[in-house]
Amino acid sequence: MKKVLAAIMLAVMGVTSVSADDIFDDENPGGWDFELPMLKVGKSNSRSTVEVELSSSLSFGFIGGINQAEGVSIDMGQSFEIEWGDVISSKVRVGKKDFMRIGMGFDWRNYRVTDFKMFAKDERGVISMQDYPEGTEPKFSRIHTFSLSFPLKYYHYFNKKVYFALGPELYFTPWGSLKTRFYEDGEKKKITAGNVHQNRFSVGVGAEVIVHHVGIYYKYNPFNVLRSSYGPKFSTMTVGLKVAF
């Protein structure tokens, strides 16, 4: 009982769990696993196990705009994504070194424009690209979003330390905001707004290659970031680094 309580306490602490070592266990060739932060409950061939292990993923990537409406120019050097992946996940083995995995994670994204256009929200809630106020010096204008990500990916392990993954990702984005910063007469100014009418549901595709816990990933998101009736159209692609613990 003490061991179970300790495992639950570690799960609440928020460190996630994912492990690939059992993929190469010939005595355990099939079945499913369900994983929570710091807690892994596995079942295979009528054998159940509970074990504590440290495993998850953190990603940092640069976002580039694609299919952008006139006036929108997402700066890939200034736009970025931070993702905490596989907070909750489950997997099904489909081969000795292959399995399908569905998970849930948290995703934060900043979409910045740094030229002479800025995101602006009017009294109707519609977002458009406008010029900065006359006589000001632009700094940046950005849309920020928070999403829950639900990837469904196929994993192939070349060995215990090297794998490739590919698959679709569903995003639920309940929150978004707008911020613009500029200088006026040498003084810093900012404009902020909430409820940017972000596209709450979207689907993309992602791929990653991991070698010894570190690798690269790519995402393509063809859906518009903002709802088309409330903002300029633009979708994105992301390239970055991933650390799998």
Q: Which two tokens stand for residue 41?
A: 């409950």
How confident is residue 24, by pLDDT bands cut at 50, 70 and 90? low
* Residue whose entry in the numeric block shows the structure tokens 């740094």: 114
Does residue 97 contact residue 165 with C-beta atoms inside 8 Å? Answer: no
For the stretch 134-186, pLDDT in tens is: 999 999 999 999 999 999 999 999 998 999 999 999 999 999 999 999 999 98
Query: Which residue(s) pair with 119 in the sheet?
Result: 129
Q: Residue 8 pLDDT more than 90? A: no
CATH 1.10.1200 fits 55-244, yes or no: no
pTM for this one? 0.79
Q: What is the 3-state secondary structure (H, E, C) of the chain?
A: CHHHHHHHHHHHCCCCCCCCHHHHCCCCCCCEEEEECCEEEEEECCEEEEECCCCCEEEEEEEEEECCCCCCCCCCCCCEEEEEEEEEEEEEEEECCEEEEEEEEEEEEEEEECCCEEEEECCCCCEEEEECCCCEEEEEEEEEEEEEEEEEEEEEECCCCEEEEEEEEEEEEEEEEEEEEEEECCEEEEEEEECCCECCEEEEEEEEEEECCEEEEEEEECCCCECCCCCCCCEEEEEEEEEEC
In 3D space, the residue among 227, 236, 231, 239 whose CA is nearest the CA of residue 201 turns out to be 227
pLDDT at 91: 84
The pLDDT of 52-65, averaged and rounded, is 82
